[in-house]
Structure 1
Amino acid sequence: MLFHVRMDVKLPHDMADSVAANLKQVEKDKAQALQRSGTWRHLWRIAGQYSNVSIFDVADVEELHQLLSTLPLFPYMTIQVMPLCRHPSSVHDDDR
């Protein structure tokens, strides 16, 4: 199943720079591994915000929840999830 996920990150202002840098690096490593596996299909930054829009390809909403809740930045995120399905007017045969 495909899911459109918006993640808005808000780190505490009093978080030490070194802690924030470490969290961001661990998050980046995990995100890139999930992209390489095909689970995290697309990842786009929203210009001017500490936010992204992503497409995930997982079996179901439970798998998506499990994946998102294990992200290092999860405690600092506001997340919006929208399940996706193929539109009957799409000219593509696949999920490009």
Structure 2
Amino acid sequence: MLFHVRMDVQIPADMPADVANEIKAREKAYSQNLQRSGKWPHIWRIVGEYANYSIFDVASNAELHEILTGLPLFPYMKISVTPLCRHPSSIRDDES
């Protein structure tokens, strides 16, 4: 199942820099492991914002929920999820 996910990060301004940097380092490692596994095939930064658009390829809604809530930055995010399916006019055969 494919999902389009927008993540807006809102780290509190009063969070100590060392704490924020440690969380960001864990976030990077977590997300890169998911990218390597194929569950997070695309991630794009939104210019001028602390936000991203991502595509997830997972087995179920529950798996996506588990992945998103496992993000170290999850407590500081606003997340919007849109389920996707293949468009009948697509010329590609490799889409889920």
TM-score normalized by structure 2? 0.97
Cα distance in 2 for residues equivalent to 1:94 and 1:88: 13
Q: Distance in 2 between matches of 1:77 and 1:60?
A: 21
CA RMSD of aligned residues (A): 1.0
Q: Note if 1:17 corresponds to 2:10.
A: no
Gaps of 5+ in 2: none
SS at match of 1:40: coil
* Match of residue 55 from structure 1: 55
- Alignment of 1:79 with 2:84, yes or no, is no
Kindly state the Cα deviation for residue 48 of structure 1 after the two structures are TM-superposed: 0.3
Stretches of structure 1 lacking an aligned partner (at least 5 in a row): none
Runs of 4+ residues over 4 Å off in structure 1: none
SS of the residue 2:41 aligns to = strand
